[in-house]
Amino acid sequence: MRIDKYLWCVRKYKTRSLATDALKKSRVIINDEPAKASREVKVGDRIGFRKDGVLYQVEVLDIPKSRVGAKLVPDLIRDITTAEELEKQQFINMMHKLSRPRGTGRPTKKERRDLNDFMDVDE
């Protein structure tokens, strides 16, 4: 199976064209080599892809015939992303959550708690 189709099938990219664009921009590597969209994926390959500033790494366990449901993804890939990259992802998610467009109103009670927890971490 082609790498662009595989990344779409295992739900790492929302559309196949997004996966192809990432490959064109050299954001995907297979076994430490840059990949083209037409590269075939085999069981045991290690795929690394940069998405939203985080370098994710997965190992291919099986190849699906078509796009699979989210519950079946762990049967097809094993996530081997480093802890540092996962922390970076959490930080980015927190910053998106805390940044509010100006004029959207007061924070909700949950958002205030999250802000307080975030501010207390530094002390």
User: 99 and 73, same structural domain?
Assistant: no
Q: How many helices (H) and strands (E) does the chain have?
A: 5, 5
| Each residue's pLDDT tens digit, 67-100 | 999 999 999 999 999 999 999 999 888 887 777 6
How far apart are alpha carbons 63 and 73 in whole angstroms? 10
62 and 102 share one domain: no
**Percentage above 90 pLDDT, the chain:** 67
Distance, in Å, from the CA atom of 6 to the CA atom of 15, rounded to the nearest integer, reads: 11
Residue 3 shares a structural domain with residue 20: yes
The pLDDT of 53-58, averaged and rounded, is 92
Considering only residues 92 and 62, tell me which one the structure prediction assigns the higher pLDDT.
62
The pLDDT of 94-112, averaged and rounded, is 78
Provide the CATH number for the domain around residue 43: 3.10.290.10
92 is in which domain, residue-wise? 82-123
Task: Kindly state whether residues 74 and 111 are assigned to the same domain.
Answer: no
Q: What is the mean pLDDT of the chain?
A: 89
User: Domain check: are 93 and 71 in the same one?
Assistant: no
β-strand pairing of 54-60 with 46-51: antiparallel
Same domain, 13 and 64: yes
Q: Facing residues of 48 across strands?
A: 29, 57
Please state, in angstroms and rounded to a whole number, the distance separating the CA atoms of residues 122 and 31. 39
Longest CA pairwise span in the chain (Å): 51
pLDDT confidence of 63, banded at 50, 70, 90? very high
Distance CA 6, CA 20 (A): 11
Dig out the tokens for 119 from the structure: 């501010």
Are 91 and 120 within one domain? yes
